[in-house]
Chain A
Amino acid sequence: MEQKGPNKPLPLLLQWPWVVAVYLLLAVLLRLWSIPFILAVAALRRKYSPHGAAEGYCLSRTRKQLRQLPLGALLVFLAVCVGVYGLYGDEERRYMQLLIALMAVGLLAVGVYVCFAALRDSLFPEKSSLAASIRSQLPYPDEAPAVGELFAMVDDDLAGDALWVGSVGIGKEWVLGDAASRIDRIRGIFTIDRIEHHHRANGGSTSTRILQLALVDDRWNPAVTDFKSPKDLQNAADCLAGRLPEARQGGEGAYHDFLALSEEQREEFLREFDARQSARLANAGPQLG
């Protein structure tokens, strides 16, 4: 949870796309020793432009997708390795080869998609999933304005006096997480907090805690954002629940149940939501800023 930072100009070398060049240069020159320097540059960027305020919250978020590129490249590399291993493996065990080939193709597909999405989001913001999520919140998505205007809608709202909880910005009208949601269209607010166990080949296992805020809009589109801190997750959920007390709330089970509602059940829920909200607002005075 952070306050919007001071509106200082961002030094040229910290601006997109120069900052990418700076990172690459540091990585090439210093190899592993570049890590503390890259972290220092990132900290400077956070100081000068918290949440990407200087270049625009939305644009900054789409460009951050470039960070997925190394992961995509790694997956492609692994796919190639697996493929090569399969090609020169035991020819008598054909079924094993087939399985390895399938794995390689799967890994390759995922890797290519991750690379594609990272490049698409960072280099072509108008095609990004964030832009798509904003468009989907508009009354007529097909007639949505250009991406600059689209992002400005969210940025202006957040620049006003947004509350930042983790990486999620909550403005008066919009919530910006991994996707954007219009607050007045949110109908479900769910927190996902589960631990996933992964078994290793050597018999051991690792655990990952999944913390997510899932917002479901009135068209039943989910927008899921990852959190690092359970407290931040709860604070974000509580804050939105306070704004929309009529919205369905709960954990992961409730989230899946909500998504699984039939058409009739959804309509009934929406009717009830509207009635309860109207009753609440009828007695409420003007909303203070």
Chain B
Amino acid sequence: MGRFFSDEVEKALKYIYYDMRSGRGAEGMKLLEAASSAGDGDASCLLGRCLCGPQYVWSGHHFPEDSRRASKLLHQAVQQGSALGVLVAKRSGELPDWLIRKMPFTSLKEAFEIVLQKAKEGEPFCQYMIGNAYFWWDFLSIEGVSRASFASDAEFNAYMGENIRQCEDWFWKALRGGVFFAANNLNRFYLEGDPPYVLPDPDKAKDLWKTGAELGQPIHQYNYADQLSKAGQQAEALRWYKAAAEGGQPGCWYYVGRCYETGEGTAKDLGYAVSCYEAGIKEGEVGCCNRLGALLYKGQGVRQDYARAVELLTVGYQHDTTWPLPYLGKCYYQGWGVPKDVAKAREFLEKVTWDDPEVYYLLGRIYARGEGVPEDIARGVAYLQKAGNYQLAKEELLRYKKTLFGGRWVRR
């Protein structure tokens, strides 16, 4: 038995929350599964939370989302006598009256006191849940009070302010202990406050991500890098993007690769950019598929490979990104890496909503020459003219002329 929970649960907490960079989240989940099956209510509670999606657990663990099972597990945790389970279920809206009646505690307060005790003794997840109980006003139902319990608004407001403010200290403790979600709530607490009980204090939020980043939280390293990037500090931003990526934060290899590809905040290194994108693709980053697809198409930093470019760009397209459209259009038109299919090429090219001379050129050519569509020289010429100074479009335009009478566009 561990200090606060069973050994399995304590190990799982470490792998899933306090030491996310270790990459042992899956192992932690397995421990929870086993312990939950053995009747450990805390394990059921944490397992349920793991299945609630990225709002409740780090997305870098890539845990499956299963809200029905999560709900079932939270109910189970309460019935198995987990005080933590009661607070988590309450916070997740999974503590109906029938479950309250079935829980092996005399009241919510009893469960709260058990968790509070562990929080006081230094257990970070409990500290986070206590912080939540204050931040989200759960203390009202725990204490069994409401506005009617107070003689005046002023008394009620003072009570609310005093309790809500307690979340700050608990969240800081939880954050330092490794629960990164605590910083998210702190950020909201500082930026928005809880008027009229607590007023915002945005200055305090300024260094939150920096603190989280320095504590080694990949998600905060990512947030902090974003903050720096928006402030124009690209080199420093890259350092943190890289740290976050190496810590397993989803989406970060894309930024690192892009910096090396474009030379933002560092010297251009297309070869390294390619390896970043490859790493991101392994984690399922769609942005990396798109960028690497483009590099493979151009043969920059990597040997030109149209077939793989099309494969990766198709993944991007299937995820509703528009970046791959011109590349896919060109590949299908030219028959690069895929069998030539002008109709499909046109489909991609016509979805491009921004100015791209190559796209205009191909659309112009398709319509003016009647490739896979009825010939429409006027429409083709209109596209070609939109391509501006693009050399091939200028050459293609030389093949058509306007008739002297009637001003119709015809082939020369």
Which of A's residues lie within 8 Å of B, judged by CB? 1-3, 163, 165, 170, 235, 238-239, 242-243, 285-286, 288-289
Query: Are B334 and A285 in contact, with the CB atoms below 8 A?
Result: no
Query: Are B298 and A286 in contact, with the CB atoms below 8 A?
Result: yes
Taking a contact as CB atoms closer than 8 A, the residue among B299, B362, B394, B401 that contacts A288 in the complex is B362
Interface readout for B283-306 with A: 1 if CB under 8 Å, 0 if not?
000000000000001110000100
The smallest beta-carbon distance between B207 and chain A, in angstroms, is: 41
Which of A163, A238, A288, A289 has the largest number of chain B CB atoms within 10 A? Answer: A288
Q: Is B168 an interface residue (CB 8 A)?
A: no
Query: Are A163 and B398 in contact, with the CB atoms below 8 A?
Result: yes
Query: Are B395 and A285 in contact, with the CB atoms below 8 A?
Result: no
> From B331, which residue of chain A is reached at the shortest CB distance?
A286
Q: Which A residues are in CB contact (< 8 Å) with B304?
A: 286
Q: Which B residues are in CB contact (< 8 Å) with A242?
A: 391, 394-395
Interface of A is mostly: mixed
Q: How far is the CA of A288 from the CA of B391 in the complex (A)?
A: 11
Q: Which B residues are in CB contact (< 8 Å) with A1?
A: 398-399, 401, 412
Taking a contact as CB atoms closer than 8 A, the residue among A2, A3, A239, A286 that contacts B395 in the complex is A239
Given A285-B298, A288-B392 in contact, is the A163-B358 Cβ separation under 8 Å? no
> From A235, which residue of chain B is reached at the shortest CB distance?
B398
The smallest beta-carbon distance between A6 and chain B, in angstroms, is: 12
Which of B334, B361, B399, B401 has the largest number of chain A CB atoms within 10 A? Answer: B399
Query: Are A238 and B394 in contact, with the CB atoms below 8 A?
Result: yes
Q: Is B90 an interface residue (CB 8 A)?
A: no
Which of B361, B398, B411 has the largest number of chain A CB atoms within 10 A? Answer: B398
Q: Interface size on B (CB < 8 Å)? A: 20
Query: Are A3 and B399 in contact, with the CB atoms below 8 A?
Result: yes
> From A236, which residue of chain B is reached at the shortest CB distance?
B398
Q: Which A residues are in CB contact (< 8 Å) with B362?
A: 288
Query: Are B297 and A286 in contact, with the CB atoms below 8 A?
Result: yes
Which of A239, A242, A286 has the largest number of chain B CB atoms within 10 A? Answer: A286
The smallest beta-carbon distance between B375 and chain A, in angstroms, is: 12
Extra pairs beyond A1-B399, A3-B412, A235-B398 (10, CB < 8 Å): A1-B398, A1-B412, A165-B398, A242-B391, A285-B358, A286-B297, A286-B298, A286-B304, A288-B361, A288-B392
Within 8 A of A (CB), among B313-341: 330, 333-334, 336
Closest 8 interchain pairs by CB? Answer: A242-B391, A1-B412, A285-B298, A1-B398, A239-B395, A3-B411, A163-B395, A235-B398
> From A163, which residue of chain B is reached at the shortest CB distance?
B395
Query: Are B361 and A239 in contact, with the CB atoms below 8 A?
Result: no
Within 8 A of A (CB), among B366-396: 391-392, 394-395
Q: Which A residues are in CB contact (< 8 Å) with B330?
A: 286, 288
The smallest beta-carbon distance between B147 and chain A, in angstroms, is: 66
Which of B358, B411, B412 has the largest number of chain A CB atoms within 10 A? Answer: B412
Q: Which A residues are in CB contact (< 8 Å) with B395?
A: 163, 170, 239, 242
Q: How far is the CA of A267 from the CA of B336 in the complex (A)?
A: 38
Q: How far is the CA of A1 from the CA of B401 in the complex (A)?
A: 10
Q: How far is the CA of A285 from the CA of B412 in the complex (A)?
A: 30
Q: Which B residues are in CB contact (< 8 Å) with A238?
A: 394
Q: Which A residues are in CB contact (< 8 Å) with B336?
A: 286
Query: Are A2 and B392 in contact, with the CB atoms below 8 A?
Result: no
> From B326, which residue of chain A is reached at the shortest CB distance?
A285
Q: Which B residues are in CB contact (< 8 Å) with A243?
A: 391
Taking a contact as CB atoms closer than 8 A, the residue among B299, B333, B394 that contacts A239 in the complex is B394
Interface CB pairs A-B, < 8 A, 14: A1-B398, A1-B399, A3-B411, A239-B394, A239-B395, A242-B394, A242-B395, A285-B358, A286-B299, A286-B304, A286-B330, A288-B358, A288-B392, A289-B334
The smallest beta-carbon distance between A194 and chain B, in angstroms, is: 24
> From A245, which residue of chain B is reached at the shortest CB distance?
B391
Q: How far is the CA of A170 from the CA of B361 in the complex (A)?
A: 18
The smallest beta-carbon distance between A228 and chain B, in angstroms, is: 15
Q: How far is the CA of A239 from the CA of B398 in the complex (A)?
A: 9
Q: Which B residues are in CB contact (< 8 Å) with A3?
A: 399, 411-412
The smallest beta-carbon distance between A202 and chain B, in angstroms, is: 39
Q: How far is the CA of A239 from the CA of B399 in the complex (A)?
A: 12
Q: How far is the CA of A223 from the CA of B168 in the complex (A)?
A: 83
Q: How far is the CA of A30 from the CA of B383 in the complex (A)?
A: 52
The smallest beta-carbon distance between B326 and chain A, in angstroms, is: 10
Interface readout for B347-361 with A: 1 if CB under 8 Å, 0 if not?
000000000001001
